[in-house]
Amino acid sequence: MLRSIAARRLFSSTLARKDTLAFIEVANGKVLAASLSAISAAKAIGKPILGIVLGPEGEKGAESAAKIDGLAKLLVAKDAKYDHYLAEEVAPLLKELVSKNSYTHFVTPASAVGKSFLPRLGALLDVQPVSDITKVVSEDTFVRPIYAGNALATVKSKDNVVLASVRASAFPQAELSGSASIEDVSEAVESGNRTEFVGEDLVKSERPELGSASRVVSGGRGLKNKETFDSIMNPLAEKLNAAIGASRAAVDAGYCDNSLQVGQTGKIVAPELYVAVGVSGAIQHLAGMKDSKTVVAINKDPEAPIFNVADIGLVGDLNEAVPELVSKL
Amino acid sequence: MSTKLKILVPVKRVIDFAIKPRINKAGTGVEKKGVKFSINPFCDIALEESLKLREANKGLVEKIHAVSIGPTKAQDILRTALAKGADTTTLVDVGEEEVEPLNVAKILQKVVEKEQSNLVILGKQSIDDDANQTGQILAGLLNWPQATNASKVEVSGDEVSVTREVDGGADTLKAKLPMIVTTDLRLNEPRYASLPNIMKAKKKPLEKLKASDLGVEIASRLETLKVEEPPARAPGVKVENVDELVAKLRDAKAI
C-alpha cells in the first residue's frame, strides 16, 4: 500500500515535470525587453524553460537570446515565413511544437505580436489563453487585471496546457548571463496562410523604448497642439533621459504618434518615474501607468483625477512650470 | 470580380466605460446591479466600420448582421446596432454568466456559418475582461486570415487591406476574403443613432437563440478564484512650486 502510494507519487512527479516554451520576440536583431520579463514569469512557473525565436529576425537575435538567464535551450525556426510574426504562420508552428512535445506551459510577452498570435494558438489547441498576467500564484493559477486595472482577478486554468501572455511591466527583466545551447527547429509546418505582409511604418526615435523605459514623461490634451507638445515634452524627456508617452486625447488630436499612447488600449508602463503633463487622468489612462513607482502630475486643474494617483502634484500652468523644471533639473 | 460582403459584427454589452467598477462584497466579481451598461466601445467602432464600408462602396455590402452573446438585456445594444444601420441581429442568450473568449468564438463560428459571413469585424478587446482574444480565436477556428488592431480598412475586389497599430508604429497586411478584422480606437468615430432610426429599429429583425440551439456547450476553462481591488496608492502631496517639486523628486531618489 505504502509502496504503491510512493510509486504513484514518483510517477505523478515525473509526469508533472514538463517544460515551458517561451516565445522570445526579437526586433532589429535585439531581444525585446518585454521578452526578458516574460522569462521571469516563466521562471516563476517553475518548469525548465525552452526559448524559441522565429524567422530571420530571430536568427539574428539568437546569440543574445541564448544568453537569457534561465533558458535550458533555445530553439530557432529560421524559415523566412516567420518574419513579421504573422499569426497565421506562427500559431500552427507553435501548435505543432506544443502538442508534439507536450509542453505544459507556453508564455509570450503581451506585446502586439504576442496578443495577435496567442489566442489563435489557443483556437488550434482548444485552450482558453490567459491574457496579460501580472503574477504567477502557482503553475496553474495567475493574477490578471480586468476592467482597465480597476480589479485584479485570480484565475485557475483547467486546461492541460497553459497559454499565457505576460504583462512586461509586472515582472523584472531576466539577466543576459546564461549560455543555452541553440538548436534548430526541424518541423516544417504547412499553415495554409493567405495573409500577406505589405509593409510597415515604424516611428524612429532616439528616446528609450516606451514599454521598458525607467522614466516616462507623458503629455495630454493640456499641451494644446503638436508644436507645444514637442517644445515642452522633448526638452523634459531629454533632461531626464525618459521615453515620451501620451494620453489618448493627445494622440487623437495629432500631437504625437499613436504608438506613444499610454493606457488600457495603448502601452502599459510601470517606470520608476512617470511625469504626467497636462493629462487629466481618465480611468483608461490610469490603467496604463498607475503601477509606476513615483508619479508626478503637472496640471492647472486642481480637481484633475491624475492628482489622486500622483505622489507629487503641482497645480500650475505647464507652459511655465515645465521649462522651469527643465532648467532646474 | 468583386465579392459581396456579408459582414458579421459581434457586439458586447459591458459596464459603461466612464464608470469606475466596484468589486462585489463576496469578492467574486464586479458589482453589476444598478450600473449603467453600454455597447463595448471597440464593438461600436466595428459596427461603424461596417456601415462606412457600405456607404463608401456602392453595392459592396450585401448585409450587416450584428450578434451579441450575453444576457437577455443585451438585446438593448442590438437595438442600438439596428438603429445605427445593422440589417439583422441575433441574440445568443446565455444568461448572466460571463462567457470566455474561446466559447464566444465557438458560438460566433456557428453564427458565421449560419449567416454565411465572409468578413467579421470585431472590437480588439472588451473593456471588462480586457482579454483581446475573441477575434484571433475565431480566425484560428475558421482558419481565416486575421488583422488585429486595425486603424484603416480598405476593400478592393475580394481583397482586404488593413493597416494595423503595432508596437512602434503601424504595419499593413492584406488578404483575400473571408477574413477577420479587429478594430483599434483610431479606426473611426462611431455615429449616434437618431430618434427616427431608433423607432424604426424596433421593427427590424432580432432573432433570439440559446447556445444549445447552435450546438455549443459552454464550459469554462478558467475558474475565477477571486476578484479584488488593486492595492491603493499612498496619498500624494501637492507642492507649491517647481523648487519644491525638484526637492521632493530628490527625496524620492527619482532623479
Q: What is the residue extent of each domain of chain A?
A: 20-184, 215-328
Q: Which residues of B touch A248 (CB under 8 A)?
A: 185
Residue B253 in any domain: the answer is no
Residue B255 in any domain: the answer is no
| Mean pLDDT of the region A127-145 | 98
Contact A199/B249, CB-based, under 8 Å? no
pLDDT exceeds cutoff 80 at A9: no
Residue B235 in any domain: the answer is no
Alpha-carbon span B138 to A247, nearest angstrom: 31
pLDDT in tens, B60-111: 999 999 999 999 999 999 999 999 999 999 999 999 989 999 999 999 999 9
Beta strands at A26-27 and A30-31: parallel, antiparallel or unpaired: antiparallel
Q: How confident is the model at residue A203 (pLDDT cuts 50, 70, 90)?
A: confident
Cell of A252: 487623437
- Segment (H or E) for B227: strand B222-228
pLDDT exceeds cutoff 70 at B236: yes
Q: Which residue of A has its CA nearest to B106?
A: A123
> What is the predicted pLDDT for the residue at A284?
95
Q: Which residues of A touch B14 (CB under 8 A)?
A: none
| Mean pLDDT of the region A53-68 | 97
The residue count for chain A: 329
pLDDT exceeds cutoff 80 at A145: yes
Contact B148/A at CB under 8 A: yes
Q: Which residue of B has its CA nearest to A257?
A: B169
Distance spanning both ends of chain B, measured CA to CA? 63
Residue B107 in any domain: the answer is yes
- Report pTM: 0.95
Q: Which of B189, B249, B250, B251 is best to mutate for the A interface (most A CBs within 10 A)?
A: B249
pLDDT in tens, A238-273: 999 999 999 999 999 999 999 999 999 999 999 999
More confident residue, A205 or B143: B143
Tell me: is residue A128 an annotated ligand-binding position.
no
For residues A76-100, b (16+ Cβ closer than 10 Å) or e, as one string?
bbebebbebbbbbbbbbbbbbbbee
Counted domains in chain B = 1
> What is the predicted pLDDT for the residue at A162?
98
Residues 31-90 of B with CB under 8 A from A: none
Residues 65-94 of A with CB under 8 A from B: 84, 86-88, 91
Average pLDDT, chain B: 96
Contact A147/B at CB under 8 A: yes
Cell of A307: 492628482
pLDDT exceeds cutoff 60 at A227: yes
Which of A88, A200, A311 minimises the CB distance to B169?
A200
| CATH T-level topology, domain A20-184 | Rossmann fold (3.40.50)
Average pLDDT, chain A: 94
pLDDT exceeds cutoff 50 at A219: yes
Residue B213 in any domain: the answer is yes
Residue B250 in any domain: the answer is no
pLDDT exceeds cutoff 60 at A12: no
Please state, in angstroms and as integers, the Cα–Cα distance from residue A327 to each residue in A102, A236, A313, A321, B160, following that order.
Answer: 58, 9, 18, 10, 51
Contact A222/B at CB under 8 A: no
pLDDT in tens, A265-279: 999 999 999 999 999
CA A198-A200-A203 angle, to 5 degrees, is 170
Q: Does A20-184 match A215-328 in CATH topology?
A: yes
Contact B229/A211, CB-based, under 8 Å? no
Amino acid (one-letter) located at A32: L
Greatest Cα pair distance, chain A, in angstroms, is 80
Q: Range of B34's domain?
A: 5-228
> What is the predicted pLDDT for the residue at A205?
85
> What is the predicted pLDDT for the residue at A143?
98
Q: Which residue of A has its CA nearest to B176?
A: A194
Does the domain formed by A215-328 have CATH 3.40.50.1220? yes
pLDDT exceeds cutoff 70 at A2: no
Q: Which residues of A touch B161 (CB under 8 A)?
A: 198
pLDDT exceeds cutoff 60 at A290: yes
Which of B130, B167, B243 minimises the CB distance to A112?
B167
Which of B30, B176, B221 minimises the CB distance to A158?
B221
What is the signed CA dihedral for B122, B126, B132, B133, rounded to 10 degrees?
A: -60
pLDDT exceeds cutoff 60 at B152: yes
Whichever domain contains B184, its CATH number is 3.40.50.620
Contact A151/B172, CB-based, under 8 Å? no
CA A175-A204-A247 angle, to 5 degrees, is 85
pLDDT exceeds cutoff 50 at A1: no
> What is the predicted pLDDT for the residue at A15?
54
User: Taking CB atoms and an 8 Å cut-off, how many pairs form between chains A and B?
Assistant: 251
pLDDT exceeds cutoff 70 at A4: no
Angstroms from B244 CA to nearest CA on chain A? 9
Q: For every residue of chain A, which 3-state class applies, written as one string?
A: CHHHHHHHHHHHHHHHCCCEEEECCEECCEECHHHHHHHHHHHHHCCCEEEEEEHHHHHHHHHHHCCCCCEEEEEEECCHHHHHHCHHHHHHHHHHHHHHHCCCEEEEECCHHHHHHHHHHHHHHCCCCEEEECEEEECCEEEEEECCCCEEEEEEECCCCEEEEECHHHCCCCCCCCCCEEEECCCCCCCCCCCEEEEEEECCCCCCCHHHCCEEEEECHHHCCHHHHHHHHHHHHHHHCCEEEECHHHHHCCCCCHHHEECCCCECCCCCEEEEECCCCCHHHHCCCCCCCEEEEEECCCCCCHHHHCCEEEECCHHHHHHHHHHHC
- Indicate the SS3 state at residue B140: helix
Q: How confident is the model at residue B19 (pLDDT cuts 50, 70, 90)?
A: very high
Residue B252 in any domain: the answer is no
Q: Which residue of B has its CA nearest to A253?
A: B186
> What is the predicted pLDDT for the residue at B3?
85
Q: Give residue for cell 512617470.
A: A274
Q: Which residue of B has its CA nearest to A299?
A: B238
Residues 79-98 of B with CB under 8 A from A: none
Cβ-proximal residues to A8 (8 Å cutoff; 6+ apart), any chain: none
pLDDT in tens, B31-68: 999 999 999 999 999 999 999 999 999 999 999 999 99
B124: nearest Cα among B86, B165, B158, B91: B165
Alpha-carbon span B166 to A200, nearest angstrom: 9
